[in-house]
Structures are given as C-alpha cells and as structure tokens.
Copies of this chain bind each other. A is one copy, B any other.
C-alpha cells in the first residue's frame, strides 16, 4: 500500500515535470474531454476528497466508477468506497436511495427528474461534498459536473451548485446504416458493429455513453433516418437491445429510425396505410416486441414523405394520421414519436423554404401528445447560415423540437475547424415574436411559451469509428457543445468553448484565450468563404464537398445551387418578399419586418430574402459587389490567422494532436481559397464585372473549377 502511494506521488511528479517540458506525451484523442490528466500540485493540495459514499443502483454505480476514474487521474488518489460519513467524502444519492440524503432535506424541488445539487457541507463536523438529485440520473450528471469543476480548475471549497436541464430529451441522431456506413459521416465507419451485435459488445460503446452522460445527452437514435425496414426485424431488435444494455448504465435510452413502409417491405402486408387495421396491428406487434427486448426503449424517429422516403402521403393520409398511428403503438409503453418536418415534395413548385410550414402549420393541434415535430434549425438544410425555421413558435398546440447537424456536411466536413455553437445560439436566440417580443426559439423549445408536454433537442452525430471519434480533435468540440446547449439552450458558447478547451488540451490561459477566440470566429469565417451575405446551398451536388454554384441541370429545381443564389446579369439573391415567394409572410410580422428592407436589414441574411442588383448599395453605403468579395477575403484570411494562432500553441499541445490540427488547417486554408476563387469566377461569369482594384483574380478560370470531380468523396452512405 505504501508502495502504491509512493508510486502515485512519483507519477504525479513525473507528470508535472512533463507538463512543463518541451514535448508532451502524444494523445490520440480517444479520451475526448474526459482525459483526467493530473492537475497541478498546488491546486490538488487544496482538495479534500478521499472517499465516496454512494448508492447501489446501476446509475449510481456508474457515477461512482467515473468519480473513481476521474479522481485517480486528476489527483492520483484512490477514492475508497465507504459506508459511513468521513471527512473528505463525496456523498452521492437521492432521497429514495439514501436516508442520509433524505434527512438533509436539501432543496431538490425544482430540479426535476434530471437536475442535481452539489454542496459543500459539514456533517458531524466533517467536511463533505454532497451530490444529490431526485433520480439516479441526476446523481450521475452531478458526478460528471463535479469532475468538470476539477478539470477546469474551479475552487471546490464552498460549493453550492444546482442545475437542471431545460429540455427533456437530449438526443444524438446517428445517420448510421446497417451496413456500417454513415450518411454524412466523416469519421470512419459506424461505431455500432451491427454485424457482430448482439454477440460482440464493443467496450467503445461504454466510452461513448460516458462521454454523452458527461454532457447530459440522454438518448440516441442509432440508425439512419433514411431507415431500413430490417431494423424492425427480430434479428436487429436483438442487436438494438444489446446496444441499449450498454448505454443504459449511463442514463441513455435507445431510439430507432423507422421506415414508414415497413409493414409492406418487412411485414409482407399489401399496404402501409396508417389507417389500415392490419397495418396498425403490425406496428403494435413490432412495438411490443421492441419493448420486450428493450423495456426503456425511447421511441421512433420518422423521416416520412421526404426525399423519396415513403410516408402517409402515399396513402392520402396526413402527417398527423401517420404520426399518431405510431404514437398510439408506443403510448402504452411510454415511448415517443419524433416526426421530422424536413419535407419538400417533388411535384411542388412552391419555394422549398415554405413547404415545411405549409405542410405542418395546418396540422397544428392534430398530433397526439407523445408526438414531437422535429424541425431543422433553418428552413432549408443545415447551411452555414440560415434564418430560423418559421415553424418555431408557429405551432402552438404541438410539441416541437430542434434538429441541428453536428456533422459538418455543408461546413467543410471533417477537416475544417468550425465551432458550431455560435451558429446554434444564433438560431436558438432568434426572436420569433409569435407571442410578442422575447418569444425566442429557445423559449419555445424549453416549453415556456406553449407549455409543451415534451421538450427536446436532436443533433445529427459526427461520431464514427475513427480513433478520435470525430475525424479531428476540434470536431469533438461540436459534440460537446451540442450536449451543453441541449441541456441549456441559453448557455454561452464562449464559456462552453473555454471549458472544452481546458478539458481537451490545457488549462493554461496562454492556450485557452487564443484558442477560444479562434474557435469563436470560426463559424463566421466559413460563412464568409462559402456563402456570405445570405447565400445558401452553393455546394457541389451529392457529396456537398466544395463549391458548385454553376450546377443548374438537376431534375428537381431545388436540388440546384442556381435555384438558391439566382445569380444572373441583373443581380443575385432569392426574392422571398411579397413580390417573390413571400416566404417572409410565414414569420410573425415583427420578425418579417426585420428582414423586409434590403437597405437596412442585417446584411448577413440579405440574399436569403432579396434579389438585388449587382450595384446595390446598403443604407450604410456598402456596395454589394466589392462587399461580397471582401467577405470571401475575410474568410480566407481568418483561416490563415487560425494557422498562425495554432502554430504558436505548439508548446501546449502534444506533437500528435498538434500536427493533426496543423495538417487539417492546411487543408482548410487551401479549400477556403478554392471556395473564394470558384465563387468569384462564377459570379463574374454572370455579372461580367471586373474585380475591385487590388483584388487577386481567381487562380484558375471557371472551367477549371467546374471540371473538378470527387467521385470518392466521403459521407454518402451506401
């Protein structure tokens, strides 16, 4: 025992000396933000924590094991499991699991099912820390919060923290196919080894669940929204159950994306009409079979009547009829249906921007109370910048949730360093004005406006089997920030970035400050070098890698980048005012008013709503054409600045991660310039204008950019 203490001390000394040495030990990113590397001795000295007194439920056991792992790593201490109060103990529990906690009469009301309280108190004159909650899951979240306080070097002497999530369901959506590929995945194959499940239980899934629990994510949809009917077969239900078994100890539920045509495709029925009694029975039977294997199954996610997927529309039924049929199969078990609003019809000539609202607004009030409409943050499709979807706040009698895309399908994919939290905050804090000023999207989602029975967030996962989970170290920040914002849609992206940076790399301010600043501007940079001033969907077809503004010959108009930019000799931009598609009218009048005057509106959204001439000049006297080019330049320059910033960070990062980030930034720098040059060459081909004085011309002619082909671009699934 003495030997082990000595060894621990020496390991800490060794670690401390390494931390200041020229070269830090290489890390491969697998540990994410749960690295638990040793803290500085000065900080550790003040921490009085030496034992854990916890409950015996599975989730409290998880909390305890994580605390032991974390304290061992951070402080080099083995926190013993104790049965009685002692000085320096961490006391975990719920009033139900612990008489001690119950007797403390802590203010747990208001923390709901998942909130927690962390408090430094004195018990029988012994200083202890209490992590208490109304449920085991709350205890688990409290344990992770406690560790994060050490990871970010907070003072722990007089803790009095209480926190609770503002949404009920905080989910990852995996667009993972049953063949192991991942649609819009840029970090290797699926982490779910569908083939060898349920027999082979990959320990990686436990680490996946731990990471999610640490940021409050409490569920995962484990298969692609473009769903295979097979996932409802007994064989695949058994596989899903094995995944559920591995996620459950960390407070996560499993959900499945289902194919609306499954009763035909898998069940052999002649129809999938949601009002057909046989179809209803089939779904009930399959749902019951799932709950038999997964008693805490979360529910279904459905992409119906969208992009070729089957749906109730195929049988002349409404989305509400389709969703409610599934909801009623799930209802007895407590499950939910998340029904995606991402629809646009192949035969509908209406502005794609408007179609989701047109479809769902008339159905408001017709959905059962265990249905949630899952709405993408913007009206089109995860563009670098979109206005908020007009559906937010417009549905007053229907549960609604937001879907964001953590995987950067349209924002540089795996390689570009883009911190997404500022973009998500922009959507969350948008004012819908639907119930007067201050009716922000976040408030709607939190259920504060209409008192929704269910509140939720969904993030399309950027996770794959790559050793670092997300393709690059900085993509991990988006997984992390998504969890934090799902927990609290009002959280500050900068504070989140700061926490993540400290936990993932270093808490040295000489590192944290410049890196956080670099992250915070990275989203505006990608907007600038891809689609500034309210442009959207200028990416190449199919894989969405690189620029493709010239594409104009695809079967459906709204598949073409030219549909969105509408660049011609006369001008650029999509007229969504009353003279155009009038999509603006889908917003509350006060919200629409903000975007109605091209002269005075926020120019970041200009071309989303207005077609303006190339010689347009805004009220603050910015002429469009040079301003557009200036944005591209600013974006390109920002990437160069990130390279410079990162180069200075070498002393604070291990070689392996330092090099990987540097290599990815080099790709981003080259591609930012590619974007700038290709877009400018394209615009010039339309407007015939020369470049402002001093502007570098595109490196190649337009034909060159048009000729580039990327047949093996990743993320296209099967």
Task: Give chain A's interface residues, CB within 8 Å of chain B.
Answer: 3, 6-7, 10-11, 13-14, 26, 28, 177-181, 188-189, 194-196, 199-201, 203-204, 230, 414-415, 465-467, 656, 659-660, 663-664, 666-667, 711-714
Contacts and interface: CB of A to CB of B under 8 A. Distances in A.
Copies in the complex: 2
A14 B4 CA distance: 8
A524 to B, nearest CB: 24
A188 B14 contact: no
Contact of A664 (B200, B664, B714): B200
A466 B202 CA distance: 11
Contacts of A666: 199
B230 A712 contact: yes
B199 A712 contact: no
Contacts of A465: 188-189, 465-466
Nearest to A194: B712
B10 A713 contact: no
A638 to B, nearest CB: 19
A99 to B, nearest CB: 34
A250 to B, nearest CB: 18
A200 B712 contact: no
A200, A201, A414 pick with most chain B CB within 10 angstroms: A200
Contact of A178 (B196, B415, B712): B712
A10 B6 contact: yes
A7 B14 contact: yes
Contact of A189 (B7, B188, B195, B414): B188
Given A28-B203, A199-B666, A200-B667, 14 more contacts: A3-B10, A3-B13, A7-B10, A26-B203, A177-B712, A178-B712, A188-B188, A188-B189, A195-B714, A196-B667, A200-B663, A201-B663, A203-B656, A465-B466
Contacts of A26: 203
B714 A230 contact: no
A174 B6 CA distance: 49
Contacts of A659: 201
A177, A465, A664, A713 pick with most chain B CB within 10 angstroms: A465
Nearest to A10: B7
A189, A204, A230, A415 pick with most chain B CB within 10 angstroms: A189
A179 B188 CA distance: 11
A230 B660 contact: no
Contacts of A466: 465
A3 B7 CA distance: 12
A199 B10 CA distance: 40
A188 B180 CA distance: 8
Contacts of A14: 3, 7
A666 B196 CA distance: 11
Contacts of A713: 195
Q: 7 smallest A-B Cβ distances: which pairs?
A: A179-B712, A178-B712, A199-B667, A189-B189, A200-B663, A195-B714, A7-B10
A660 B200 contact: yes
Contacts of A13: 3
B7 A199 contact: no
Nearest to A186: B195
Contacts of A204: 467
Contacts of A656: 203
Contacts of A6: 10
